[in-house]
């Protein structure tokens, strides 16, 4: 829960800085959220992929 709160607060701070500096977001919200979803799915898939490759090669973790 602490990581989620910290992530939210940092995102909020960056949003405030963007607004204060009158900088447009580098990506439209839907594109940014899709990228974040890809990151989360990739992060979740990595350990499973490594375990599957290790099992195919007969390597114990």
Structural domains counted in the chain: 1
Look up the pTM and report it. Answer: 0.51
The token pair at 24 is 């447009």
- State which residues form the domain around 37: 2-57
The DSSP secondary structure of 1-60, one letter per residue, reads -HHHHHHHHHHHHHHHHHHHHTPPPSS-HHHHHHHHHHHHHHHHHHHHHHHHHHHHHT--
CB atoms within 10 A of CB 18: 13
Q: What is the pLDDT of residues 36-54, one digit of tens each?
A: 889 989 999 999 999 999 9
The token pair at 42 is 């990739």
Residues in the chain: 61
Task: Using a pLDDT cut of 90, give the percent of the chain over it.
Answer: 30
């Amino acid at each position: 829960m602490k990581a989620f709160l910290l992530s939210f607060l940092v995102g909020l701070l960056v949003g405030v800085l963007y607004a204060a500096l009158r900088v447009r977001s580098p990506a439209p919200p839907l594109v940014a959220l899709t990228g974040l979803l890809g990151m989360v799915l990739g992060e979740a898939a990595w350990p499973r992929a490594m375990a599957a490759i290790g099992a195919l090669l007969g390597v114990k973790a």
